[in-house]
Structure 1
Amino acid sequence: MFKCSVLLLVIVSAVLAQFKCPQRTGFFPDLAQCDLYYVCSQGAHEQKLCPDGLVFDDRDPNHERCDIPANVDCGDRTALQEPKPTNGCPRANGYYRHSDPAACDKFFNCVDGEPNELACPPGLIYDDIDSTCAWPTDSKRKDCTKSKKDSLDDGFQCPDGDTEGPNGRTLPHPTFAHPDDCQKFYICRNGVMPQKGSCSEGFVYNEDTFACDKPANVPGCEDYYKKKN
C-alpha cells in the first residue's frame, strides 16, 4: 500500500511538473483527462478535479465550471477519474437512463450519488447520449425506438402523424370528435397522450374548427340537447 501511494504521488508530481499555465491567471483543462483542470494564479498552478460524473468546461478560462458530458466537447481529453457508483447512479453526478430497461420515459438525476427519478413529457423517451428527452424517432437511443401507445378505457388512441388546424399549422394538442356524443371530444396532449374532454352545457364539439360551438353550426348535432332533454 505504501509503495502504491508513493507511485501515485510520483505520477501526480510528474503531471504537475509538465503543466505550464497558458496565462498567469485562469482555469485551464488537462490535456488528457476531461474532468481534470488547473487553477492558475500569478503563474503558479493547482490541480483540481470535477465532481465524479461531471467534466471541465474549458470554453472560458475566466470561469471555473464543471458540467455534464453532453454539454462539453472533450475532444481528445477522453480519460476520466475512477467512477463512484451507487444504486441507480453509474457515477455520483449526472443524468442516466433508468435501471428498469422498460422505463424508457424515465431517468435518474444523480446528485452526490443520490438518484432522483424524473419522467419525460408524454410521448418522449430519455436519450442518454444527449442527456435529454426526445421523440423516439429523433432519439439516438435504439433500444426504445418503439413506444407503446396509451389507450383510454373506451379504446381511443391518438392517431399517428401530425394534425393540422384550420390555419394549416400543426396542432400541439389536437382534439378529435367523440363518435357517439356531440358534447364530448378527445384531447391528445403533445399529440400522443389521450385525454377525455367535454364542451360546456349548451355547446357541442365542432371537428371542423377543433373547438366547441353552437349546435346549429355542427351538422348532425343540431338537435343534440333537444334529444338529451
Structure 2
Amino acid sequence: MQQQQQLLVVAMIAVNLFLGGVEAQNFKCPERTGYFPDPVQCDAYYLCSKGDAEEKLCPDGLVFDDRDPNHERCDIPANVDCEDRTELQEPQPSKGCPRANGYYRHPDVDACDKFVNCVDGVYHELPCPPGLIYDDTASTCAWPAESRRRDCMKAKKDSLDDGFSCPDGDVLGPGGRNLPHPTFPHPDDCQKFYICRNGVQPQKGSCSAGFVYNEETFTCDDPANVPGCEKYYDEKPSGKKN
C-alpha cells in the first residue's frame, strides 16, 4: 500500500512538471526579459529571458506581485491585487496553518485579539496591541469599529478594576465632532473621570487639585461651573484650592 502511494505521488509530480512545461511553452513573454504573472493563477509567474519563459511558483500562501517586472517578489494576498487571476496552487496545510505561509485567524473563535503567522508551515501565535482585533481582510490588527470582521464586534470588552468599560457608539464633543478619545465622569468622585483611548481602551483620569470634571465640556473645570460638585473641595479639607 505504501509503495502504491509513493508511486502515485511520483506520478502526480511528473504530471505537474509536464503540465508546467506545456504552460511555459504556451506563455508568450510580453517583453524579452522580466518577471510576468500567469494569466489565471495568482501565485504562478514566469521568468522571461531572451524571450524564453520559465514557469515559477510562489511559496504556498503567497502570491506574485506583478507591479514591477524587474523584480521577483511574492507577498501576502492582502498586499497584492490579483484581479482576475483567482486560481492558486493546492494548499500545503500543517497543524494550525491553512497554508504554509501567511497570516490567519486564531483557531480559537473567541481570541479576536490574536492571530497566526505561518512561516514554511511553522505555526506562530501573535497578539494584537491592546484594544485591537485581527482583521483578516487586511491581514493586520485594527480597531473593532474599522474592521470588517463582524464576528468580533461583540468581543469581550476590556474593563478596569472598578468595572468601568467603554460604552458603544461615537461620542460627540463641542461642535458636533466625534471625540477620538472620549472622557466620562466618575459616578462617585467629582475629581476623577475615565478616558476611552480610541473609543475602546479604558483608562483612569483625574483632574488637578482644585478642579473637577465637567461632563458638559469634557474638561476639568472650576467646581462652581459643575452642578453637584460646587462644594467638592469644601468637603475635602486636604484638597482645598489654593
* 1:50 maps to which of 52, 58, 71: 58
**CA offsets, 1:89-119, max 9 Å, x none?**
2122221001111112321233333424131
Q: Which residue of 1 aligns with 2:110?
A: 102
Structure 1 residues 27 and 96, CA, compared in 2 at 3 Å: closer, same or farther?
same
CA distance in structure 2 between the partners assigned to 1:84 and 1:6 by the alignment: 18
Work out the percentage of aligned pairs sharing the same amino acid.
71
Output the TM-score relative to the length of structure 2. 0.81
CA RMSD of aligned residues (A): 2.5
Taking structure 1 as reference, are residues 142 and 198 closer, same or farther at Cα in structure 2, changes over 3 Å only?
closer
Alignment partner, residue 24 of structure 2: 16
Distance of 1:85 and 1:22 partners within structure 2: 34
Matched, 1:214 2:227: no
Contact 1:106 1:120 in 2 (8 A): no
Equivalent runs, 1:186-201 vs 2, <5 Å: 186-201=194-209
Q: Residues 113-141 of structure 1, C-alpha deviation per residue, up to 9 Å, x if partnerless?
A: 3424131551x533323424456566544
Paired residue for 2:231, among 219, 223, 228?
Answer: 223
> Partner of 2:126 in structure 1?
117
1:28 to 1:189, Cα distance in 2 relative to 1, 3 A: same
Equivalent residue for 1:128, pick from 122, 130, 136? 136
Closer, same or farther: CA 153–118 of 1 in aligned 2, 3 Å: closer
**Per the alignment, in what secondary structure is the counterpart of residue 12 of structure 1?**
helix
Judged with a 3 Å threshold, the aligned counterparts in structure 2 of structure 1 residues 178 and 64 are, in CA distance, closer, same or farther, namely same
Q: TM-score, normalised by structure 1?
A: 0.85
Secondary structure of residue in 2 paired with 1:173: coil
Change (3 A) 1:37 1:172: same
Conservation of the 8 A alpha-carbon contact between 2:46 and 2:55: yes
Is 1:7 aligned to 2:15, yes or no?
Answer: yes
> What's 1:176 paired with?
184
Partner SS for 1:70:
helix
Runs of 5+ unmatched residues, structure 1:
none
1:173-213 deviation per Cα after TM superposition (whole angstroms, max 9, x unaligned): 10011121111101112212322211233322122221223
Instruction: Indicate the structure with greater helix content.
Output: 2
Does the CA-based 8 Å contact 1:109-1:118 persist in structure 2? no
What is the one-letter code of the residue matched to 2:152? C
Show CA shifts across 1:131-186 (max 9, x none).
24456566544433433344333333322221112232111110011121111101
Amino acid in structure 2 at the alignment position of 1:127: D
Paired residues of 1:136 and 1:146 also in contact (CA < 8 A):
no
Number of matched residues?
228
Distance 2:115 2:12 in 1: 38
Q: Does structure 2 conserve the Cα–Cα contact (< 8 Å) formed by 1:55 and 1:69?
A: yes
Deviation at 1:80, TM superposition (A): 1.8
Could you tell me which runs of 5 or more consecutive residues in structure 2 were left unpaired when the two chains were aligned: 1-6, 238-242
Q: Which amino acid aligns with 1:203?
A: F
